[in-house]
């Protein structure tokens, strides 16, 4: 079983995506285990402080190294972790390749930032990997952590009922997925492509491949570079 530990100042913010659909089922099937840790539980007992002003001045609070170190040490003392990942906008952007790699790694710790982010010494000394979910800034690392977990968990063998379904998703083989249709075949005179109703598997496969390539050329031409 893979274990993912998420460290945050607002763990409440991410609990709900893990309580539904595919991720919930993966947890119930005991394929993955997710634990949330409130950094405040590792703060200085008297002051409960997890952030402080920046050295050198400037607006915005910075998350302190001490509670983060305590929390990570506590986890590492109990079991082995393959990566300690910090969610941050100034990092390599998450893609399917990274998700694939992480899905077969083993236990992970994910650190969510808030405010101005974490003290640089956390990044230099405690974190083994940094991931962004895109070139925009969010208020906290909780939603990015949920995005990362979802992208990883659905790839862990046994999570998706039909093993082939992750393989036919976009990016998995370097192209976007073809369009999909369901009933009714005719909706207010908008029809499903006839070929999908033909029952000719070889033709349908060829059509799907053509459509996938066409779509990729149009939307993501850089995939062919
Ligand atoms: N001052 C930082 C931004 C901090 S945003 C900067 O300019 O780079 C606060 C926290 O939100 C970050 O510590 C990070 O954990 C999270 N976050 C914001 N945008 C993100 C993104 N695109 N990807 C991953 N995490 C992000």
Q: Structural domain tally of the chain?
A: 2
Cα of 113 vs centre of ligand 1, distance in Å, is: 7
> 133 and 175: one domain?
no
Cα of 97 vs centre of ligand 1, distance in Å, is: 22
CATH of the domain at 59: 3.40.1280.10
> 122 and 31: one domain?
yes
Cα of 10 vs centre of ligand 1, distance in Å, is: 14
Smallest CA separation from ligand 1 atom 11, residue: 140
Cα of 139 vs centre of ligand 1, distance in Å, is: 7
Probe residue for ligand 1, chosen from 6, 119, 138, 148 as the CB with the greatest number of ligand atoms within 8 Å: 138
Cα of 147 vs centre of ligand 1, distance in Å, is: 14
pLDDT of residue 44: 86
> 72 and 147: one domain?
yes
> pLDDT by residue for the chain (225 residues), tens digit each?
999 999 999 999 998 999 989 999 999 999 999 999 999 999 988 888 999 999 999 999 999 999 999 999 999 999 999 999 999 999 999 999 999 999 999 999 999 999 999 999 999 999 999 999 999 999 999 999 999 999 999 999 899 877 567 888 888 888 999 999 999 999 999 999 999 999 999 999 999 999 999 999 999 999 998
Distance between CA atoms of residues 225 and 171, nearest Å? 15
Cα of 91 vs centre of ligand 1, distance in Å, is: 10
On whether residue 160 sits in a domain, the answer given is no
> 141 and 176: one domain?
no
On whether residue 91 sits in a domain, the answer given is yes
> 119 and 176: one domain?
no
State the angle between helix axes of 142-153 and 21-28 in degrees (0 to 180), rounded to the nearest 10: 70
> 14 and 87: one domain?
yes
Give me the domain span that covers residue 215.
170-224
On whether residue 162 sits in a domain, the answer given is no
pLDDT of residue 163: 59
On whether residue 159 sits in a domain, the answer given is no
Predicted model pTM:
0.95
pLDDT of residue 165: 78
> 34 and 132: one domain?
yes
> 113 and 194: one domain?
no
On whether residue 36 sits in a domain, the answer given is yes
On whether residue 158 sits in a domain, the answer given is no
pLDDT of residue 145: 98
> 175 and 142: one domain?
no
* Domain end marker among 123, 153, 183: 153
Probe residue for ligand 1, chosen from 86, 122, 141 as the CB with the greatest number of ligand atoms within 8 Å: 141
Q: Which residues line ligand 1 (CB under 6 A)?
A: 87-90, 112-114, 116-117, 132-134, 136-138, 140-141, 144
């Amino acid at each position: 079983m893979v274990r993912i530990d998420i460290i945050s100042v607002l763990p409440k913010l991410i609990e709900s995506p893990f309580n539904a659909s595919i991720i919930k089922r993966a947890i119930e099937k005991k394929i993955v285990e997710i634990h949330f840790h409130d950094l405040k539980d590792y703060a200085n007992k008297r002051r409960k402080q997890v952030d402080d002003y920046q050295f050198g001045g400037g607006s915005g609070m910075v998350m302190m190294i001490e509670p983060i170190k305590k929390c990570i040490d506590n986890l590492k003392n109990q079991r082995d972790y393959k990566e300690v990942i910090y969610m941050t906008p100034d990092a390599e952007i998450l893609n399917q390749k990274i998700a694939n790699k992480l899905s077969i790694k083993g236990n992970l710790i994910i650190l969510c930032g808030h405010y101005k982010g974490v003290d640089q010494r956390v990044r230099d000394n405690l974190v083994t990997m940094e991931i962004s979910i895109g070139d925009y800034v969010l208020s906290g690392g909780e939603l990015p952590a949920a995005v990362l977990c979802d992208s990883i968990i659905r790839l862990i063998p046994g999570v998706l009922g039909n093993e082939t379904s992750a393989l036919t998703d976009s990016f998995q083989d370097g192209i976007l997925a073809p369009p999909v249709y369901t009933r009714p075949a005719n909706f207010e005179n908008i029809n499903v492509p006839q070929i999908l109703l033909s029952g000719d598997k070889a033709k349908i496969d060829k059509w799907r491949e053509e459509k996938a390539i066409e779509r990729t050329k149009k939307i993501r031409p850089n995939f062919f570079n």
